[in-house]
Amino acid sequence: MKIALVGNPNVGKSTVFNALTGSNQQVGNWAGKTVERKAGTIHRDNLEIELVDLPGTYSLTAYTQEEIVTRQYILREKPDVVMAMVDASNIERNLYLVLQILELAPRVVIGLNMMDLAKSSGISLNAAELTKALNVSVVEIVAAKGVGIDKFLAEAVRVGLLKKDPLVRQVPYPSELEEKIQAMENLLKDISWASQYPLRWLALKRLERDPEIGQEWQSVSAPESSKDKKRETCCDSGDALNYKLKNIIELPGNDLLQSYEEEGWTKDHFEMAFADAKYNYISQILPRFLIQEDLRKPSLTDSLDRWILSPIWGYPVMILVLALVFWASFIASAPLGEAVSQGMAWAADFLVSLLQWIQAPAFLTSLVRDGIFAGVGAVLAFVPQIAIFFAFFSFLQDSGYLARAAFLGDRLMQLMGLHGKSFFSLVSSFGCNVPGIMATRTLEDPKDRLITMLLNPLIPCVPRLGVMSAVVAAFFPGTRGAMIMLSLLLISMLLVMISALFMRKVVDQKERSAFVMELPLYHLPTLRNVLWPTWHKTYTFLKRAWTFILAASIVVWLLSSFPQGVPMNSTWAGKMGEWLEFIGKPLGFDWKIMVAIIFGFTAKETTLSTLGILYGVAADASQSIAQAMTGAMSPLRAYTFLVVYMLYIPCLASVVTTYKESGSLRWTAFGIAYNLILSFIIGWIIFHGGQAMGFQ
């Protein structure tokens, strides 16, 4: 059985999906789209169920990728049943999507979620009356507490196994509209393949001149005979819905549409008329199942938003929240990071002792101690920082606060010519640039999405911040270190703002799209909803530690150890550094720094592991690696290194993600070149400016 999970954003779909599928889920991208695809397997009553969590969307038009993916899945894959999630505290707008779903799929089960929040807001709902009004099964659930989820699935299975489709209530359009819909249906019903799909829906979309139905095929100039042959061949294929729908433009109906336009019925008129009819229908049936109590006391959400969304207090609150996240990520996690470092050092000593006991070759002992553990061990000390950051981020996202932060950030984003949702993406990048780049999927405008992608690498991620904090602690101890870290973050923010204005010109963004975002009710996230995404993202980082970083550490060890018996600057790594030294010399960098910067491209964490190997520090606390640099660099050179390291080319994973999300090799290459050039220009200015002012 195939079940689709559909609903507006922030209605609790992820909570239900995670509760039902657990670890039996796969996450990827929809083919040809930058929208995330989540699918999971469930075993119930001798059935193997594939549950697909479709992107959160407010409607099924064709304006965003989320809308297109959702409706194409329902049309192409024809799921046995659709589980429609509805926010009980905001049911009127949520039912608009449900009515659109019912035009595509007759087998639908509604899950009335957040019943507890609705009750606290003075909303009483009668699920039985809603069932009668739409002739659709309705189940009351409180997903955050695990209430009703199994019943929701059981009802979906029951409906999916029905021998006949239930007769759902159709939206009663005004008579003038019904005449036009019927006329279009009559023109389409003679098409051989049209009966496979909802004819009424096809007629509605044809009247709306839906951009996904044929507009791109108007320029097809093949002879009619070849078109007919191609259509006949194509339309026998189960994977040919796109071609079928796009060829509606060539079917009878152009004359009819022309006559409607002469009457004043344009594309926008039809869209608005259909939307008005749906909302009128909802307002008619709403009193049958909803009672809104008159609460004199404001709700918890209203009370909190008076402060959190205030133009005066909202920004200080946001700064305090972000400060708490960074404090917990970097300060509170320090003992855990130290424990990991000590554990890795103990493991290295144990393995080295074991290898020496069995009289293993010296190069193997060196590989384990000076290569693998010196490299990977230094990086694993960041795992507590990353895990804590992602846990806080998941909590803030699921609680409803991040939507408010994006709302507040929209004012700042406007100054940069960006969309408010870009703020959400840029904040995500403090954890890791990869999810930050992927978070641009929430931006509807492709140009907004591209600009935000190109800006993301200018935000220092947790691994970069970890390396930076280690170097800062060695060169600028005490209060000076805090001021230095603050100055680095301010440089990053300033360059993001300047680069945003520059990118607008390069990408040729002339108009900024409107900012529309739902502000969900506040609620306490479940432990599962916080821990599951935290584990998934941390596990992804750990996989990188044992793939990219392990491989890079071994390569660096090989380059710095051979030929054997020669000074470090005569090894292969030393020779590579000599070739690169002319680039770093104007910034005061020696060859070791340049080699570390180059290897940092594989993963930013490898910069620290590379320095650990090149400076001869065995698996130990990252602080020791930074201290080993103090003998080779002055404070001014160290600060220049920190700036260049913070800004230069993003890691390999970020580059690959940028290419996948943008689909453009040209823009990906532009982003790499921009970061590389910008970092060295700013580094040169700081180094020579510092020397001119007498700093060393």
What percentage of the chain exceeds 90 in pLDDT? 21
Q: What is the pLDDT of residue 280?
A: 93
Q: Tell me which of 437-441, 480-484, 565-569, 669-673 is least confident.
A: 565-569
Q: Tell me which of 66-70, 233-237, 318-322, 445-449 is least confident.
A: 233-237
* 553 vs 571 pLDDT, higher one: 571
Q: Does residue 239 have a pLDDT over 90?
A: no
Q: What is the pLDDT of residue 34?
A: 54
Cα 318 from Cα 302, distance rounded (Å): 17
Q: Tell me which of 128-137, 348-357, 564-573, 657-666 is least confident.
A: 564-573
Query: Known binder of ligand: residue 22?
Result: yes
Q: Does residue 620 have a pLDDT over 80?
A: no
Query: Known binder of ligand: residue 39?
Result: no
**Average of per-residue pLDDT across 575-579:** 82
CATH 3.40.50.300 fits 2-160, yes or no: yes
Q: What is the pLDDT of residue 222?
A: 34
Helices and strands, number each (H, E), in the chain: 33, 9
Backbone φ, ψ for residue 291 (5° rounding)? -125, 120
Lay out the sheet containing 47-53: strands in order across. 25-29, 36-44, 47-53, 2-7, 81-87, 108-113, 137-140
Binned at pLDDT 50, 70 and 90, residue 296 comes out as low
Query: Known binder of ligand: residue 34?
Result: yes
Binned at pLDDT 50, 70 and 90, residue 237 comes out as very low
Query: Known binder of ligand: residue 463?
Result: no
Query: Known binder of ligand: residue 67?
Result: no
* 528 vs 177 pLDDT, higher one: 177
Residues near 618 by beta carbon (within 8 Å), at least 6 away in sequence: 345, 348, 369, 370, 373, 374
Query: Known binder of ligand: residue 683?
Result: no
Query: Known binder of ligand: residue 8?
Result: yes
Q: Does residue 248 have a pLDDT over 60?
A: no
Q: Does residue 379 have a pLDDT over 80?
A: no
* 362 vs 157 pLDDT, higher one: 157
**Average of per-residue pLDDT across 321-347:** 78
User: Helix 446-455 and helix 479-507: axis angle, to 10°?
Assistant: 150
* 77 vs 428 pLDDT, higher one: 77
Q: Are strands 81-87 and 2-7 parallel, antiparallel or unpaired?
A: parallel
Query: Known binder of ligand: residue 9?
Result: yes
Decide if 629 contacts 471 (C-beta within 8 A): yes
Query: Known binder of ligand: residue 56?
Result: yes
Q: What is the pLDDT of residue 650?
A: 79
Write the pLDDT tens digit of every residue in 478-507: 778 778 887 888 899 899 989 988 988 888
Q: Does residue 321 have a pLDDT over 80?
A: yes
Query: Known binder of ligand: residue 517?
Result: no
**How far is residue 21 CA from its own chain's centroid?**
20
Q: What is the pLDDT of residue 619?
A: 41
Long-range Cβ pairs for the range 534-541 (8 Å, 24+): 534/387, 534/390, 534/391, 534/394, 536/27, 537/386, 537/390, 537/431, 537/432, 537/435, 538/383, 538/386, 538/387, 538/390, 541/383, 541/386, 541/432
> How many CA within 13 A on the CB side of residue 259?
6
Cα 675 from Cα 46, distance rounded (Å): 55
Query: Known binder of ligand: residue 426?
Result: no
Q: Tell me which of 213-227, 512-526, 552-566 is least confident.
A: 213-227
Query: Known binder of ligand: residue 94?
Result: no
Q: What is the pLDDT of residue 215?
A: 39
Query: Known binder of ligand: residue 325?
Result: no
Query: Known binder of ligand: residue 114?
Result: yes
Q: Does residue 236 have a pLDDT over 50?
A: no
**How far is residue 558 CA from its own chain's centroid?**
37
**Hey, what are 384's tokens?**
């507590």
Query: Known binder of ligand: residue 337?
Result: no
Query: Known binder of ligand: residue 431?
Result: no
Q: What is the pLDDT of residue 30?
A: 64
Which residues of 509-580 form beta strands (DSSP E)?
A: none
Q: What is the pLDDT of residue 159?
A: 94
Query: Known binder of ligand: residue 239?
Result: no
* 642 vs 609 pLDDT, higher one: 642
Decide if 398 contacts 530 (C-beta within 8 A): yes
Helix ranges, 545-571 (H): 550-561
Query: Known binder of ligand: residue 33?
Result: yes
CA distances to 68, 79, 246 from 75, rounded to whole Å, are: 11, 8, 14
Nearest to 333 by CA among 387, 410, 264, 403: 387
Q: What is the pLDDT of residue 694?
A: 84
Q: Does residue 622 have a pLDDT over 60?
A: no
Q: What is the pLDDT of residue 393?
A: 78
Q: Tell me which of 26-35, 131-140, 422-431, 626-635 is least confident.
A: 26-35
> Locate tokens 């059985």: which residue?
1
Query: Known binder of ligand: residue 144?
Result: yes
Q: What is the pLDDT of residue 230?
A: 40
Going from N- to C-terminal start, the domains of the chain cover 2-160, 175-265, 320-509+530-692
Query: Known binder of ligand: residue 448?
Result: no
Q: For the chain, give the mean pLDDT.
A: 79
Q: What is the pLDDT of residue 121?
A: 75
Q: Does residue 57 have a pLDDT over 80?
A: yes
Nearest to 596 by CA among 617, 611, 574: 611
Query: Known binder of ligand: residue 35?
Result: yes
Cα 57 from Cα 79, distance rounded (Å): 18
Query: Known binder of ligand: residue 450?
Result: no
Query: Known binder of ligand: residue 18?
Result: yes
Query: Known binder of ligand: residue 13?
Result: yes
Cα 377 from Cα 369, distance rounded (Å): 10
Decide if 114 contacts 89 (C-beta within 8 A): yes
Q: What is the pLDDT of residue 335?
A: 82
CA distances to 102, 107, 133, 391 from 126, rounded to whole Å, are: 20, 21, 11, 37
The total number of residues shown for the chain amounts to: 696
Query: Known binder of ligand: residue 216?
Result: no
131: left (phi over 0), alpha (psi -120 to 50) or beta: alpha
- 0.85 surpassed by pTM: no
**Average of per-residue pLDDT across 76-97:** 91
Query: Known binder of ligand: residue 159?
Result: no
> Locate tokens 């960006």: which residue?
418
